[in-house]
Amino acid sequence: MLSTRGLVKVYPGPVTALNGIDLDVPPGMFGLLGPNGAGKSTFMKILAGLLEPTSGTVTLDGADILNAPEALWPRLGYLPQEFGFYPHLSGEAMLSHLLALKGVDAPQGRRRLVADLLERVNLSFAAKRAVKSYSGGMRQRLGIAQALAGNPRLIIVDEPTAGLDPEERLRFYRLLSELAVDRIVVLSTHIVEDVAVLCPRFAVIRDGRLLAVTSPGEARASIAGHMFEGTVNVEELAGLRAERTVTQALLVEGLNRARIYDPSGAPPDGFVPAPVTLEDAYLVLMRSGSLPERGSRSEGLPPLGNGLRSLGSAPAGVAG
């Protein structure tokens, strides 16, 4: 178990990047979802022992990793959002260099370990190629290969699918899901699909505060029966947003299709019930600061429901 209590980080200014994060992360895949600038990368750097918090505690399996980060590093695999490579080196040479920097070796030798890691992330075919010729997804897989070295207990990946094409993203999803079988994997992302596909449970962070800890199924169930969709004219869209919780407004075959959350169950004329997505639940949460509880009412957006843990509120955002 990875646990944080009262985690605060204040940068000079002052700017509060994290404001009292209490979170328990069990073994398996766990998502940290939030918009850019929410504090996710700061949180990940603190977990990795690269940044000292202003206050609070972080423990891994009961051991304090803030006071002794050097005890964590041999058990840590870390893929930051920005990961630098020497473009002229081959994939195997780059990985061998990274393993040397980490002090990782194996009984059969580093060369064999490099070959095994490249095979595990499906890069054996490109081992001799220069890293500058790698696609974005291939570079991310090379980053995961170095994170896997030493069989870490905790793997932290920060925005790993940003910029990947759909095919590369699917490959990366499969790889990450395999890694989470016997270790803790913390996935930080602003992409709702990443969480929907990979994470049995996730936390939502905004403005340095946790808004909720839930599962994709629980989040969708909290707004089930209250999502509607309809066609609107361009000139009507501003008024609709002023009166209703519009989660998305998209062009579909040249027409404006709006999706709205309506807890009253009485949508505008022309709107029909729509299937609920995790993105809908996330956007409702961004607007209200909490997810609604099924079957109750409280000032339009009721309190968080069964299976969901409310962790404070944030200013209303603009969705859609």
- Asked whether residue 43 falls in the same domain as residue 61, the answer is yes
The per-residue pLDDT for range 59-105, each reduced to its tens digit, is: 998 889 898 888 888 889 998 877 788 999 999 999 999 988 888 87
Domain contains 314: no
Residue 17 predicted with pLDDT over 90: yes
CATH number reported for the structural domain that contains residue 195 in this entry: 3.40.50.300
- Asked whether residue 7 falls in the same domain as residue 99, the answer is yes
For the segment 20-33, the average pLDDT, to the nearest whole number, is 95
DSSP secondary structure of 207-240: TTEEEEEE-HHHHHHHTTT-EEEEEE-HHHHHHH
Q: Band the pLDDT of 134: cuts 50, 70, 90.
A: very high
- Asked whether residue 62 falls in the same domain as residue 169, the answer is yes
- Asked whether residue 250 falls in the same domain as residue 109, the answer is no
- Asked whether residue 49 falls in the same domain as residue 102, the answer is yes
Q: Band the pLDDT of 294: cuts 50, 70, 90.
A: low
- Asked whether residue 91 falls in the same domain as residue 168, the answer is yes
Residue 130 sits in which domain range? 2-214
- Asked whether residue 181 falls in the same domain as residue 195, the answer is yes
Domain contains 76: yes
Domain contains 313: no
For the segment 114-118, the average pLDDT, to the nearest whole number, is 93
Q: If you average pLDDT over every residue of the chain, what do you get?
A: 85
Please answer whether residues 314 and 210 qualify as being in contact, where contact means their C-beta atoms are separated by less than 8 angstroms: no
The per-residue pLDDT for range 199-236, each reduced to its tens digit, is: 999 999 999 999 999 999 999 999 999 999 998 888 88
Q: Band the pLDDT of 319: cuts 50, 70, 90.
A: very low
- Asked whether residue 146 falls in the same domain as residue 227, the answer is no
> Quick one: tokens of 208?
């340095």
Q: What is the pLDDT of residue 109?
A: 86
User: Cα separations (Å) of 204 from 150, 195, 234, 279?
Assistant: 30, 10, 32, 12
Distance CA 205, CA 183 (A): 23
Q: What is the pLDDT of residue 55?
A: 95
- From 140-144, 206-210, 292-296, the region with the lowest mean pLDDT: 292-296
Indicate the residue type of 168.
E
Residue positions counted in the chain: 320
Q: Band the pLDDT of 188: cuts 50, 70, 90.
A: very high
Domain contains 69: yes
Report CA torsion sign: 274, 276, 277, 280. positive
Of these ranges, 7-11, 37-41, 246-250, 253-257, the one predicted with the greatest mean pLDDT is: 7-11
Residue 54 predicted with pLDDT over 90: yes
Distance CA 221, CA 294 (A): 8
The residue among 163, 194, 214 that closes a domain is 214
